[in-house]
A and B are shown apart, each in its own frame.
Chain A
Amino acid sequence: MSEPNYLTTDYTLQSWFLTTDHKRIAILYFASLIFFFFIGGAAATAIRIELATPQADLVSSDVYNRLFTMHGIIMVWFFLIPSIPNTLGNFLVPLMIGARDLAFPRLNLMSWYIFMLGGCTTLFAILAGGIDTGWTFYTPFSTLYSNSYVIVAAAGVFIAGFSSILTGLNFIVTIHRLRAPGLTWYRLPLFLWSLYATSVILVLATPVLAVTLLLIATERFFGVGIFDPRIGGDPLLFQHLFWFYSHPAVYIMILPGMGVVNELVSCFSRKPVFGYKFVAWASLAIAAVGFLVWGHHMFVSGQSLIASLVFSFMSFVVAVPSAIKVFNWTATLHKGSIHFDAPMLYALAFIGLFTIGGLTGLFLACLAFDVHATDTYFVVAHFHYIMVGGMVTAYFGGLHYWWPKITGRLYSEYWARTAAVLIFFGFNLTFFPQFILGAEGMPRRYHVYPPEFQVWNVLSSGGAAILAVAYLLPMFYLGYSAFFGARAPANPWNAPGLEWQTSSPPPEENFETQPVVTREPYQYNEAFEAEPQNA
């Protein structure tokens, strides 16, 4: 080894736990998220084992309620929302704009501590006996009829929300203020446009979640009539407030994945992203319009028909910018020189799975269809196609793509491709049968079901077993490569982004000299590839 890098500058424990280096904080988040992913995954495993047979043989209905609630809460707030933004985003935002760090490095560290405090609070609620409201904390389950640790779990989510807000704030200020000379907005990698849009949602939506959870506590502890109609509350107010946050939050969970896919598709087609400006503005359009559709979760709740009509219409509108992106990725592939490296396999899987998830979202946005499908496995399949098929796949793709930059090592391409293919098959086998189950009327959130549904449930559970193995594989070959892999060059993919212009892993200060940007983004042309690469 020659120059010290951010990993080798200091090995002490406090150099990690008191670090303000965005790259190290990204690693802290990464390790924590793996931990939470395992907990959420363990709950999912138990759910799928239980559902392999129509009878209740593993858990009671009470425990089952606690299992799917824990799965949802952990996966949404302690894995998916922070996943790409806080790991890849934390690592890459400064590198991609040629900055030394984020605008507020200490705030960044604080956001990790707040996140861990929220996570531990929620874990405590789970260990102390669990929560049975579902991840949505619907009233009156969470207020009048609550018989579990709702308030503790809600407090954990409330606390973690502040970490979201701080991260969003940090990214917004950083992208506005710290771009390298010459790096205009339209030269930014599209990953940063999507993270910017994500940050705007984080900052504008998360406070509403915090307020909503506080209101639950207020009603429970002080008997103030907020949601309970008997004491003057409105029974639908909770759902309005919750979905005002949570629909935008589903875009928090997909926009960063879309951002990663831009980088991958462009790199492995060796072409600029088709229609850059459309894709960039589509991210902001999603962020804005995403706030106008929340009522599509309330079609059968008793909200007014006029409201349902408006929310249904707006849900069709919000699909337009997502469709623009899918078309533009496809157009980017057109006549590209396509390389099927592992990250590209993940990106292609993302495009297909996200499209299925998005299109079935449009089914659900139709009032008449939703009355039939709501609270069935069709909805479960819809959102898993987007959140797992889309976002988690994009996360794995991005992890592979930037792994050489983060660790300075190369992973085994053979194993990486095997895992990618296995994830794709395991995923589809797990979740496609759930569309059929839902269409046939199997409700979600029950642990027993009529025997005629068993075939599809067994297929789904079998797929889940494959998926579990496929998700474990990268732990081994990526983990192995981090210590024993071949040394990575600075720019293993011959990519033009700024993050590839510094060594792998980068030095603590990111760049030895301030980079200056003179080119448009994604210039994967001959001239560039002919340039000598410094290893």
Chain B
Amino acid sequence: MTEWRPPLALVGAWLALLGLLALTVTLAYVPLGAGNAVVALSIGTIKAVLVAAIFMELRKRHGLTLVFAAAGLFWLGILLWLGLMDFMTRT
């Protein structure tokens, strides 16, 4: 066993997530028109990156693990792309 150290990165990421959550909630009450969705999704993306990089420890991984993580993202892209293809062209 290595010596136990406070998981600073984890605590930091947690606080950052809470901060971003507060930001989402606050901005939801500021009327920005279409900008609201953009802001909410951008914050969501940042949160997802934090979770992937720090909680899932992807920042310390190489090669195959990253390939599989990227595959998950790529497949999400397929879902959005083909799903929106219907939505955008519906009459």
Contact = CB atoms under 8 A, between A and B. Distances in A.
B64 A303 contact: no
B66 to A, nearest CB: 14
Contacts of B33: none
A161 to B, nearest CB: 15
A307 B91 CA distance: 11
A303 B85 CA distance: 10
Which of A200, A240, A305, A307 has the most chain B CB atoms closer than 10 A to its own CB?
A: A307
Given A291-B75, A303-B86, A305-B89, 15 more contacts: A176-B64, A204-B72, A208-B79, A236-B87, A237-B83, A240-B86, A241-B83, A244-B79, A244-B83, A295-B86, A304-B85, A304-B89, A307-B82, A307-B86, A307-B89
A291 B85 contact: no
B64 to A, nearest CB: 7
The 9 tightest CB contacts between A and B, nearest first, are A307-B86, A304-B89, A306-B89, A304-B90, A303-B86, A240-B83, A204-B75, A304-B86, A307-B85
8 contacts: A176-B64, A203-B68, A236-B86, A237-B83, A291-B78, A292-B82, A295-B82, A310-B82
B87 A234 contact: yes
Contacts of A302: 90
Nearest to B88: A304
B56 interface: no
Tell me what chain A mostly uses at the interface: helix, strand, loop, or mixed.
Answer: helix
Contacts of A237: 83
A292 B78 contact: yes
Contacts of B88: 304
Nearest to B90: A304
Contacts of B82: 292, 294-295, 307, 310-311
A301 B11 CA distance: 48
B48 interface: no
A145 B90 CA distance: 26
Contacts of B87: 234, 236, 304
Nearest to A303: B86
B90 A303 contact: yes
A104 to B, nearest CB: 15
A234 B88 CA distance: 12
A302 B90 CA distance: 8
Contacts of A176: 64
Given A176-B64, A304-B91, A204 B71 contact: yes
Contacts of A311: 82
Interface in A166-223: 172, 176, 200, 203-204, 208
Interface in B23-68: 64, 68
Contacts of B91: 304-305
A176 to B, nearest CB: 7
A305 B85 CA distance: 10
A505 to B, nearest CB: 34
Interface in A292-335: 292, 294-295, 298, 302-307, 310-311
Interface string A224-242: 0000000000101100110
A307 B87 CA distance: 9
